[in-house]
Amino acid sequence: MNNAASILFIDDEPGSREGLTLLLEREGYQVEAVAAGEEALSLLSIKSYDVIITDLFLPGVSGIDILKHVKEHSLPCNVILITGNASAETAVKAMKEGAFDYITKPVNFDKLKVLIAKAIEKSRLVAENLYLRQQLRGKYKFDNIIGNSPAIQPVFARMEKILVTDSTVLILGESGTGKELVARAIHYNGLRKEKPFIAINCGAIPAELLESELFGHMRGSFTGAVADKPGKFELANKGTIFLDEIGTMPLQLQMKLLRVLQEQEVERVGSTRRTKLDVRVISATHANLEEMVHSDNFREDLYYRLNVIPIQLPPLRERREDIPLLTRHFLRKICTDMRRPMMEITPEAVRALETYKWPGNVREMENVIERTIALTDNDIIDIQDLPSQIGGISQEGGLLPTLQIPEEGLDLAEAIAHIEQALIKQAMDKSSNIKARAASLLKINRTTLVEKIKRYDM
Ligand SMILES: Nc1ncnc2c1ncn2[C@@H]1O[C@H](COP(=O)(O)OP(=O)(O)OP(=O)(O)O)[C@@H](O)[C@H]1O
Ligand SMILES: [Mg+2]
C-alpha cells in the first residue's frame, strides 16, 4: 500500500536487524537499517522518515534518546520502540516521552505491520498539516526566512501579528542574525508593500553627511551641496524607512530624528519648508541600546519611540536545530546561483556545522557554505572540506590535504605543481580573473603567470 513510505530501523543485533529489514522491504517499505543510535541521529539531521523503529536498549545513544531527539526537533515521524522485556515501567516512560507505541520481543511481525501502517498514516497527517501551515506562512512570504526551532518561533509569531499594522519596530540581534531580512519581510508583506522600502545604514555614512542623507538638503546649504536633494525620509514617504545600525547615530542627530518622528514632518538642511511625512519606521541594531541609554550614549526618549515593538533575533548558536535546515537551504541557493547540480553533505559535516559556535551567525554560515562549494572538488561535502575552525583540515584552496604525505609516498614535483595550480586559481578568483592583479598577489611577473596558466592548461 504505502510503497514509498520510509522507515529508519535501529537495532544493534545484526541477526534481528537483517531479518526484520528483509521482512519490511518485502512489504514494500524503504528501509534504512543502522546498528547505532549515533548513526541514526546523524541520518535524521539530513533525511526524513515516516517511521522510526528502534530497539530501546542500545549501547550509547538509546531508543529513548532518539525519541527525545525526534520530539525536540519536532520531526514529523513516529517512533515505535522495541523493548526486550514487557516491563511496564519502561513502556510507560516511552509513551510519556511521546512514542507512537511499543512492541515487545520477540517481535510479532503481523502486529508490527499494523502498528507501522497506523504510524505512517499519522505521520502523513502531521506532515500534511505542517505543509499547510507552511503554505499559509508562504502567503506571508516568510518562507525565505529559514527556521523551525523554538527560539525562532516567537519571531515569526510577532511578525505575523504586526503585518497589518503600521507599528514602529525595533529589531535587535547580533551581527548576521537576519535583521535586515526580517525588516524587508515585514515591509514586503505588510500594508505598505507597494510603496518604497528605503534602507539607510547609519553606521556606514560619515556623521557629517548623515543628516543630509536622512533629511535632504537645499542647494548651497553646505560645500558640495550642488543641487536640492530629498532625504531618505522623503523618499520613503508612504512606505517604510529602515534605520540600520541606529546605535551609531550621533547624539545631536538623535535629537533631530526624534523631532521628525514626533512631528511627522521633515525639514531639509538649509530649508525652512516642512514636508508632511507618512513613514513607517523600522530600526535595527546589534548594540545594547538599553545599556547605551544608561551610559547616556543614546537618548532615552528616542529609545522609547523606536522600541514600540521589539523583535529579538536569537543568535545561531541558540537555535542549532535550524542548522541542518539552513545548510540545505544555502546548498540549494548557492548551487542554483552557481548553476551547478545540487551538492550533498555528509552527516559528519552537518554535525560539525551544528557544533561550531558561529560568532558571525547566519551570514558567516552562508559564507562558509559558499566558500566550501567553490573550493571543493568533491560532489559530497565532507568534514575535511570545511574550513579548519569548523573541524575541517582544508584551508582555502584545499592546500593541507595535498601537504599530507600518504602512506605510499608522493611525487614531489607533481604535488608542488598541484599546490601551485591551487594558488594560481585562488589568486585569479580573488582578482576577478584579472591576470595583472593575480600576478601581483603572487608576487610574480604577469608573463610568468601567463606561462604557468598555459602550461597547466588552466
Ligand atoms: N533565517 C534565515 N534564513 C535564511 N537566510 C538568512 C536567515 N537569517 C539570515 N539570513 C541570511 O544571512 C545573511 C545576513 O542576514 P542580514 O543581513 O539580514 O543580517 P543582519 O542581522 O542585518 O546582519 P548585520 O548585523 O551584519 O548587518 C543574509 O544573506 C540573509 O539572507
Ligand atoms: Mg544588517
Ligand 1 atom having least distance to the Cα of 176: 23
What local confidence, expressed as pLDDT, does residue 391 receive?
A: 75
In this model, does residue 18 exceed pLDDT 60? Answer: yes
- The CATH class of 6-134 is alpha beta
Global pTM exceeds 0.85? no
Determine the distance separating the centroid of ligand 2 and the alpha carbon of 250, expressed in angstroms: 19
For residues 8 and 97, the model is more confident at 8
Indicate the SS3 state at residue 393.
Answer: coil
207 pLDDT more than 70: yes
Residue 226 exposed, middle or buried by CB count within 10 Å (0-12, 13-18, 19+): exposed
The reply to whether domains 6-134 and 153-312 share a CATH topology is yes
- Ligand number nearest CA of 146 is 1
Residue 392 has pLDDT above 80, yes or no: no
Tell the CATH superfamily of the 405-458 domain.
Answer: Homeodomain-like (1.10.10.60)
pLDDT exceeds cutoff 50 at 2: no
pLDDT in tens, 152-163: 999 999 998 898
Give the pLDDT score at 127.
Answer: 67
Mean pLDDT calculated for residue range 398-427: 73
Give the ligand at the shortest distance from the Cα of 244.
Answer: 2
Q: What's residue 226's pLDDT?
A: 86
Q: pLDDT band for position 89 (50/70/90)?
A: confident
| 3-state secondary structure (DSSP) of residue 30 | strand
Local confidence band at 404 (pLDDT 50, 70, 90 cut-offs): low
pLDDT value of position 401: 46
Q: Which atom of ligand 1 is nearest to the CA of 360?
A: 26
The pLDDT tens digits for 331-353 are 988 988 888 888 989 988 998 99
Q: What is the pLDDT of residues 254-283, one digit of tens each?
A: 999 999 999 999 999 999 899 999 999 999
Beta-bridged to residue 200, according to DSSP, are 243
- CB atoms inside a 10 Å sphere around CB 51: 26
Tell me which residues have their CB closer than 6 angstroms to ligand 1.
145-147, 173, 175-181, 286, 329, 362-363, 366
Q: How many CA atoms lie within 13 A of 231 on its CB side?
A: 26
Q: What is the mean pLDDT of residues 408-435?
A: 83
The ligand that comes nearest to the alpha carbon of residue 178 is: 1
Q: Rounded to the nearest whole angstrom, what is the distance from the C-alpha of residue 363 to the centroid of ligand 2?
A: 10
* Average pLDDT of the segment spanning 430-436: 88
Ligand 1, atom 25, lies closest to the CA of 175
Domain chopping of the chain, boundaries = 6-134, 153-312, 320-392, 405-458
Strand order in the sheet with 30-34: 30-34, 6-10, 51-55, 78-83, 101-104
DSSP letter for each residue of 179-245: HHHHHHHHHHTSTTTTS-EEEEETTTS-HHHHHHHHHEE-TTSSTT--S-EE-HHHHTTTSEEEEET
Distance 176 CA to ligand 2 centre (A): 7
Ligand nearest to the CA of 184: 1
The residue among 362, 330, 360 whose CA lies nearest residue 345 is 330
Distance 178 CA to ligand 1 centre (A): 3
**Mutational pocket test of ligand 1: of 137, 362, 369, the residue with most ligand atoms within 8 Å of the beta carbon:** 362
CA-based nearest residue to 230, from 220, 240, 217: 217
Q: How far apart are CA 39 and CA 54, in angstroms?
A: 12
% of the chain residues with pLDDT over 70: 91
Q: What is the average pLDDT across 238-244?
A: 96
Best residue among 319, 321, 363, 367 to mutate for probing ligand 1, ranked by most atoms within 8 Å of CB:
363
What is the C-alpha separation between 297 and 288, in angstroms, rounded?
11
For domain 320-392, give the CATH number: 1.10.8.60
Average pLDDT, stretch 292-297?
A: 96
CA-to-CA distance for 140 and 159, rounded, in angstroms? 10
CA 431 to ligand 2 centroid distance, Å? 26
Q: Which of 283-287, 290-294, 350-354, 411-415 has the lowest mean pLDDT?
A: 411-415
Q: Whose CA is closest to atom 5 on ligand 1? A: 145
Q: What is the pLDDT of residues 28-47, one digit of tens each?
A: 999 999 999 999 998 888 77
Ligand 1 atom with the smallest distance to the CA of 180 is 18
CA 149–ligand 1 middle distance (angstroms): 16
Mean pLDDT, the chain, as a whole number? 88
One-character DSSP codes across 397-411: GGHHHHHSPPTT---
**For the chain, percent of residues with pLDDT exceeding 90:** 60
Q: What is the reported pLDDT for 397? A: 41
3-state secondary structure of 312: strand
What is the residue with the minimal CA distance to atom 9 of ligand 1? 178
pLDDT at 372 over 50: yes
Ligand 2 centroid vs 272 CA: distance in angstroms?
Answer: 33
CA of 199 to the centre of ligand 1 (A): 15
Between 118 and 395, where is the model more confident? 118
Nearest residue (CA) to ligand 1, atom 29: 363
Provide the pLDDT confidence category of residue 402 given band limits of 50, 70 and 90: very low
Helix (H, G, I), strand (E, B) or coil at 171: strand
| Residue count of the chain | 458
State the pLDDT at residue 414.
80
Question: CATH topology for 153-312?
Answer: Rossmann fold (3.40.50)
